[in-house]
Amino acid sequence: MVPVAGRGKRLWPLTMTRPKALVEVNGKYLLDYVIEEGLEAGFSRVVIVVGPEQQAKVSKAVDKWRKTIPEAEFFIVEQDKPMGTGDALWRTLDVVGGEPCVMRYPDDLLVGSPSALKLLKEVYEKEDKPALLVQEVSWEKAATCGVVESAKELYLGVYSFSGIQEQIKNKSAMTGTFRKPVSNLAVMGAYVFTSDVFDYLAKERGSVGAEDDSLPINAVFPALMEKHGFLAVKFPGKRFDCGNLEGLTEAQKYLKKQ
């Protein structure tokens, strides 16, 4: 499942005329990289969650993929209000059928082998637990992003953890400076979930309003963690944050040299 309903404000003016997921890097859409990653990991269904304003342009791209990638099934699900990534996943229930699933943000362009989704899939098949992707970053960088708490390496590249220190919590309201991060394992935009994620999302959805981002995906992490435990899988490759112009430029320069 790929949520693409965001407005992409950090990429203006590029996203004033196109969805963020259809911004190009080195001649391919950001969404192209995610689809290729999913196919390499052995997935055959791609569910794209769009907002009303992205529907037409994403549908046109999907028509192209259906012709050029006949081995995959493509589905478009509309999220009529930007209620968050948890709400976006909940809306795919009829398509996903309540099965285990992965969620992958197209903002993160991840380069490495094995791919991010293949790593997550392999860990899920071994452990039968929800998992998210992390990357080891400098402590300076860790102070500016969400990081996992109380991380303990279980075996090479796979960690247990107790929670997430969110990016917004790292800032001091009094001074405007960043608090000391509890780890340098930064959370990335890739997750694998057990099938009961939809049950927990349904419960959460019944208790929130319709405000923007009222149901982020991490709202169900505590329930999943209590029932199953939750794993963090370290990605050893390169990550480019293509949700902003600087990261997009870095990715373009890097991929052109490959």
Looking at the predicted structure, is the pLDDT value of residue 253 above 70?
A: yes
What local confidence, expressed as pLDDT, does residue 123 receive?
A: 97
pLDDT tens for each residue of 188-212: 999 999 999 999 999 998 877 666 6
Percentage of the chain lying above the pLDDT 70 cut: 90
What local confidence, expressed as pLDDT, does residue 168 receive?
A: 56
Mean pLDDT calculated for residue range 225-231? 96
What local confidence, expressed as pLDDT, does residue 19 receive?
A: 83
SS3 call for 163: strand
Looking at the predicted structure, is the pLDDT value of residue 140 above 70?
A: yes
Q: Which domains does the chain have, with CATH numbers?
A: 2-257 (3.90.550.10)
Q: pTM above 0.85? A: yes
Handedness of CA 147, 153, 157, 161 (dihedral sign): negative
Tokens of 156: 């090479």
Residue listed under structure tokens 């001091």: 172
pLDDT tens for each residue of 77-120: 999 888 899 999 999 999 998 899 999 999 999 999 999 999 99
For residue 100, cis peptide bond before it (omega within 30 degrees of 0): no
What local confidence, expressed as pLDDT, does residue 244 receive?
A: 87
What local confidence, expressed as pLDDT, does residue 169 receive?
A: 46
What local confidence, expressed as pLDDT, does residue 236 receive?
A: 94
What local confidence, expressed as pLDDT, does residue 39 receive?
A: 95
SS3 call for 130: coil
What local confidence, expressed as pLDDT, does residue 54 receive?
A: 87
Looking at the predicted structure, is the pLDDT value of residue 172 above 90?
A: no
What local confidence, expressed as pLDDT, does residue 12 receive?
A: 67
- Residue 174's pLDDT band, with cuts at 50, 70 and 90, is very low
Beta bridge partners of 46: 74
Higher pLDDT, 61 or 16: 61
Looking at the predicted structure, is the pLDDT value of residue 243 above 50?
A: yes
What local confidence, expressed as pLDDT, does residue 176 receive?
A: 55
Round the average pLDDT of the chain to a whole number and report it.
90
Q: Are strands 231-234 and 131-136 parallel, antiparallel or unpaired?
A: parallel
Please report which residue ranges of the chain form alpha helices under DSSP H.
Answer: 30-40, 55-68, 85-90, 93-96, 116-127, 139-142, 197-205, 221-228, 245-257
Higher pLDDT, 44 or 172: 44
What local confidence, expressed as pLDDT, does residue 8 receive?
A: 61
For residues 233 and 191, what is the distance between their CA atoms, to the nearest angstrom?
Answer: 10
**Torsion angles phi and psi, residue 103, rounded to 5:** -125, 135
For residue 70, cis peptide bond before it (omega within 30 degrees of 0): no
What local confidence, expressed as pLDDT, does residue 15 receive?
A: 66
What local confidence, expressed as pLDDT, does residue 101 receive?
A: 96
